[in-house]
A and B are shown apart, each in its own frame.
Chain A
Amino acid sequence: MSSSPTSLLDLSTNSLGSAGETRARITGFAGEVSIVERLQEMGMHHGMIVQCLGRTPFKGPLLYRMGATVVALRNGEAQCILIQTL
């Protein structure tokens, strides 16, 4: 887990509703091109501050707040976003 740079997936594995906030800054993208393109089109970009809100039930998608929105991402999708924790 100590690989650097870390991906958004490493940010938090807390379940939703538990205490504690984890914030990070997006530093880049890696992995499957179609996923990266889509993430960028949805407005995720270098330098953006992201906060992990936790995981949905059944070990479902992770919720990330960025600005005035929340995006639900699967593990594989979160993994494509590289971050630096704050």
Chain B
Amino acid sequence: MHTNSNPLEIVALVGAPNTGKTTLYNWLTNSKFKTVNYPGATVEYAIGAAAERLKADYLFMDTPGTYSLFPKSSDEEVTLRALYEHHRHQKVKKVICVVDGSQLERNLMLAEQIHAAGFSMVLVVTMSDLLRKNGMKLDVAALKNKFNSPVVLFDGVLGEGLMKIVDELKLLKVEEKDPKHLKTWSAEKIQQQSEILRDLAAQAYGHVDAAKIYDPTARIDRWLLHRFLGLLFFFLIMSTLFSSIFWLAKPFMDMIDKGFTWTASEILLLMPNSLFSEFLAHGLVASLGAVSVFAPQIFILFFGIGILESSGYLARAATLIDRPFSKVGLSGRSFVPILSGFACAVPAMMATRNISSKRDRWITNFIIPLMTCSARLPVYALLLSFLFKDQPAWKPGVILALLYMGSLGIGAVVAAMLNKILAKSEISMFMMELPLYRFPRWRVLLQQSFARSKGYLFRAGPFIFVFAVIIWAGTTFPNYSEENGAVKMETSYLGRIGHAVEPAFEPMGVDWRVGVGLLSAFAAREVFVSSMAIVFNVTSDDEETQSQGLLSSMQKAQMPNGRLLFTVASVSGLILFFMIALQCMSTFSVAVREMGSWKFAMVQLVSFNVVAYILAIALVQGLRVIGVA
């Protein structure tokens, strides 16, 4: 049966990396599109309907940057697949080929291939603002004649030329027969083509030297890539990014914390002494609050990485880091995925498609879950604010910075080990183009960071809700009328189950309550915090906020034998466990998909968790031996 669920004509945007393709895409779709699109590259292909004001019935498809139609990395394979295969949409016949106006000599090769394959093409020349600023006028007619296609100049800052692109798309004639797959070009063919295209570019530019557009960028790079200062700047930029996660987020976090505390106390005031209000306040609101508090930090992380990406600095950072990374068998191309891993392992693993060497990609994907992702942040923040309660704020800040660096260190050790074990088969390539420095488009950046933070909350939301119900009910029944909180907990259903599994957690220096938290963290790491909030927040003093209340009840919590539950030793053990353990089902499923291998994902899941468990026990017992309780 023929189903035509999507009658809209589809237009693919294709272009080399850094040509401003995604900027054009954002203009065309008003930045409203569905896909995981992470800083650093276009992951998957994004599809979005034309913005309303364009009055056009098109679906636009953004594809990962590609230099040619002969793919060298999985990223480029995605582009090729997007062009030739599509299951849910119509066949791609119209293509917007995006070329950078200052890079015609190099970018036109892709246009030539798209033309040769038989796609109907609108050639969009970006950076027209820069061309104008440098007094350059392109001979558009020369390009038009060569490709027998309309050519439109586009200014990504103001959006000038947008309507013209849509008008040309509407006028574009489509061939009856489908575009064909190109056979790989021989070296001679490439050489011959590049000479033709070089002459064409020269004709288009006239007598002006396009190279001068790069001069301001080259001047900045003399500092940012300087032999000594370059490293200093790299360190400053990265430490500003990670420290702002704390100082910048603090006021917003306090606000959210107070909001949830107020809500919980209002609920209890409105409906005193009812099981339902008890559940709402101490179960649901407490667990949602415990996790929502961290939304500002996650927003800042996404926003910061977004600034680095859209300004052009990430390519420099990757270049600076190439040599150190090559020591453990990786290349600078692994830098962006690993940096993204500090936000979330899911987009980070998808970002590895940009790495052309399969071996590099394998190792990178293996170590990504070790990076301090945003879901670990709430856990560390809770445990550290406990360790450093009533101490100056810089202390937990410093330790946290060390944890971030430590995760990179652990990743390096694992990568080095894999580098020794795995057979060396192929050549690792770097070859990075350093794009022009540009000012980020703040509105788009804010919008995207906001959408991603919202995604974080909504992803974890259902788990938090489900575990809030389970853990609250489990710790409340059957003795819900018992006045003594501790007795109620001990005799509860969850308490009884907890005691059964307690021996497994006992060597880590924790009791069944933390064990329940650790188990619930396998749904999503941040659920650990909300579980702790329910288990320990039973007697919250209305004078303090939720987070203070949780900390003071953690401080008082005791093991069955009377010794304190949360000590330097047990908390350190927990932190080490969280650093290594792979407690994230989304990461697991993405690993299966990206590596196309259950084996890879299973090895990762089992080895990380077993190692985490053993090391945590070793640390706790070791600390006790040397006298740290």
Report the bound CA distance from A65 to B213 in whole Å. Answer: 12
Spot the interface stretch: B222-230, B283-291, B295-303, B444-452. B222-230
The smallest beta-carbon distance between A46 and chain B, in angstroms, is 6
The answer to the question of B218 belonging to the interface, with a C-beta cut-off of 8 Å to chain A, is yes
Q: Which residues of A contact B67 (CB under 8 A)?
A: 38, 41-43
* CB nearest neighbor in B for A40: B190
Q: Which residues of A contact B319 (CB under 8 A)?
A: 56, 60-61, 63, 72
B103 contacts which of A17, A61, A65, A69 (Cβ < 8 Å)?
Answer: A69
The answer to the question of B603 belonging to the interface, with a C-beta cut-off of 8 Å to chain A, is no
The answer to the question of A57 belonging to the interface, with a C-beta cut-off of 8 Å to chain B, is yes
Report the bound CA distance from A1 to B249 in whole Å. Answer: 56
In the complex the two chains form, is A35's CB within 8 Å of B427's CB? yes
The smallest beta-carbon distance between B420 and chain A, in angstroms, is 21
In the complex the two chains form, is B323's CB within 8 Å of A71's CB? no
The answer to the question of B589 belonging to the interface, with a C-beta cut-off of 8 Å to chain A, is no
* CB nearest neighbor in B for A17: B226
B434 contacts which of A43, A60, A67, A71 (Cβ < 8 Å)?
Answer: A71
Candidate in B105, B210, B431 with the most chain A CB atoms within 10 angstroms: B431
The smallest beta-carbon distance between A34 and chain B, in angstroms, is 7
In the complex the two chains form, is B191's CB within 8 Å of A45's CB? yes
Report the bound CA distance from A39 to B221 in whole Å. Answer: 22
In the complex the two chains form, is A57's CB within 8 Å of B230's CB? yes
Q: Which residues of A contact B516 (CB under 8 A)?
A: none
Q: Mark A32-73, 1 if CB is under 8 A from B, else 0.
A: 101111111111011110000101111111010101111111
* CB nearest neighbor in A for B194: A45
The answer to the question of A15 belonging to the interface, with a C-beta cut-off of 8 Å to chain B, is yes
Report the bound CA distance from A77 to B102 in whole Å. Answer: 24
In the complex the two chains form, is A73's CB within 8 Å of B225's CB? no
B430 contacts which of A37, A47, A73 (Cβ < 8 Å)?
Answer: A73
Q: Which residues of A contact B225 (CB under 8 A)?
A: 16, 56-57, 63
In the complex the two chains form, is B222's CB within 8 Å of A16's CB? yes
Report the bound CA distance from A16 to B226 in whole Å. Answer: 6
The answer to the question of B258 belonging to the interface, with a C-beta cut-off of 8 Å to chain A, is no
Q: Which residues of A contact B213 (CB under 8 A)?
A: 68
Report the bound CA distance from A45 to B68 in whole Å. Answer: 15
Report the bound CA distance from A34 to B433 in whole Å. Answer: 17
* CB nearest neighbor in A for B318: A72
In the complex the two chains form, is A17's CB within 8 Å of B222's CB? yes
In the complex the two chains form, is A45's CB within 8 Å of B427's CB? no
Q: Which residues of A contact B107 (CB under 8 A)?
A: 43
The answer to the question of B150 belonging to the interface, with a C-beta cut-off of 8 Å to chain A, is no
The answer to the question of B320 belonging to the interface, with a C-beta cut-off of 8 Å to chain A, is yes
Q: Which residues of B contact A60 (CB under 8 A)?
A: 319-320, 322-323
B429 contacts which of A38, A65, A68 (Cβ < 8 Å)?
Answer: A38
In the complex the two chains form, is A70's CB within 8 Å of B102's CB? no
Q: Which residues of B contact A42 (CB under 8 A)?
A: 67, 106, 431, 433
Q: Mark B39-71, 1 if CB is under 8 A from A, else 0.
A: 000000000000000000000000000011010
The smallest beta-carbon distance between B99 and chain A, in angstroms, is 11
In the complex the two chains form, is A77's CB within 8 Å of B109's CB? no
The answer to the question of B542 belonging to the interface, with a C-beta cut-off of 8 Å to chain A, is no
* CB nearest neighbor in A for B326: A74
The smallest beta-carbon distance between A77 and chain B, in angstroms, is 6
The smallest beta-carbon distance between A21 and chain B, in angstroms, is 11
In the complex the two chains form, is A56's CB within 8 Å of B230's CB? yes
Candidate in A16, A39, A56 with the most chain B CB atoms within 10 angstroms: A56
Report the bound CA distance from A36 to B105 in whole Å. Answer: 18
Given contacts A16-B230, A69-B214, contact A47 B431 (CB under 8 A): no
Candidate in B70, B191, B225, B332 with the most chain A CB atoms within 10 angstroms: B225
B contact residues, range: 35 or more
* CB nearest neighbor in B for A78: B431
Q: Which residues of A contact B221 (CB under 8 A)?
A: 16, 53, 63, 70
In the complex the two chains form, is B429's CB within 8 Å of A35's CB? yes
In the complex the two chains form, is A45's CB within 8 Å of B431's CB? no
Report the bound CA distance from A61 to B103 in whole Å. Answer: 22
Q: Which residues of A contact B323 (CB under 8 A)?
A: 56-61
Given contacts A38-B429, A39-B431, contact A57 B320 (CB under 8 A): yes
Q: Which residues of B contact A48 (CB under 8 A)?
A: 198
The smallest beta-carbon distance between B228 and chain A, in angstroms, is 7
Candidate in A43, A47, A53, A68 with the most chain B CB atoms within 10 angstroms: A68
Q: Which residues of B contact A45 (CB under 8 A)?
A: 190-191, 194-195, 198
Which B329-352 residues have C-beta < 8 A from chain A? 332
Given contacts A42-B106, A46-B191, A61-B322, contact A70 B430 (CB under 8 A): no
B105 contacts which of A16, A43, A71 (Cβ < 8 Å)?
Answer: A43
Q: Mark B106-123, 1 if CB is under 8 A from A, else 0.
A: 110100000000000000
In the complex the two chains form, is A77's CB within 8 Å of B431's CB? yes
Report the bound CA distance from A73 to B333 in whole Å. Answer: 12
The answer to the question of B432 belonging to the interface, with a C-beta cut-off of 8 Å to chain A, is yes
In the complex the two chains form, is A70's CB within 8 Å of B191's CB? no
Q: Which residues of B contact A38 (CB under 8 A)?
A: 67, 72, 356, 429, 431
Q: Which residues of B contact A16 (CB under 8 A)?
A: 221-222, 225-227, 230
Q: Which residues of B contact A55 (CB under 8 A)?
A: 227
Report the bound CA distance from A15 to B210 in whole Å. Answer: 26
The answer to the question of B187 belonging to the interface, with a C-beta cut-off of 8 Å to chain A, is yes
Report the bound CA distance from A35 to B230 in whole Å. Answer: 28
Q: Which residues of B contact A43 (CB under 8 A)?
A: 67, 103, 105-107, 109, 194
The answer to the question of B626 belonging to the interface, with a C-beta cut-off of 8 Å to chain A, is no
Report the bound CA distance from A41 to B320 in whole Å. Answer: 24
Q: Which residues of B contact A32 (CB under 8 A)?
A: 427
Q: Which residues of B contact A65 (CB under 8 A)?
A: 211, 214, 218
Given contacts A38-B67, A43-B105, A45-B195, contact A70 B320 (CB under 8 A): no
Apart from A60-B323, A72-B332, A77-B429, 18 more pairs, CB < 8 Å: A35-B429, A35-B431, A42-B433, A45-B198, A46-B195, A56-B320, A57-B226, A61-B430, A65-B211, A65-B214, A68-B103, A68-B210, A69-B102, A69-B214, A72-B434, A74-B326, A74-B429, A74-B431
Interface residues of B (CB under 8 A from A): 67-68, 70, 72, 102-103, 105-107, 109, 187, 190-191, 194-195, 198, 210-214, 217-218, 221-222, 225-231, 315, 319-320, 322-324, 326, 332, 356, 427, 429-435
The 11 listed contacts between A and B (C-beta, < 8 Å) are A40-B190, A55-B227, A57-B228, A57-B231, A60-B322, A63-B225, A67-B211, A71-B434, A72-B315, A72-B431, A74-B431
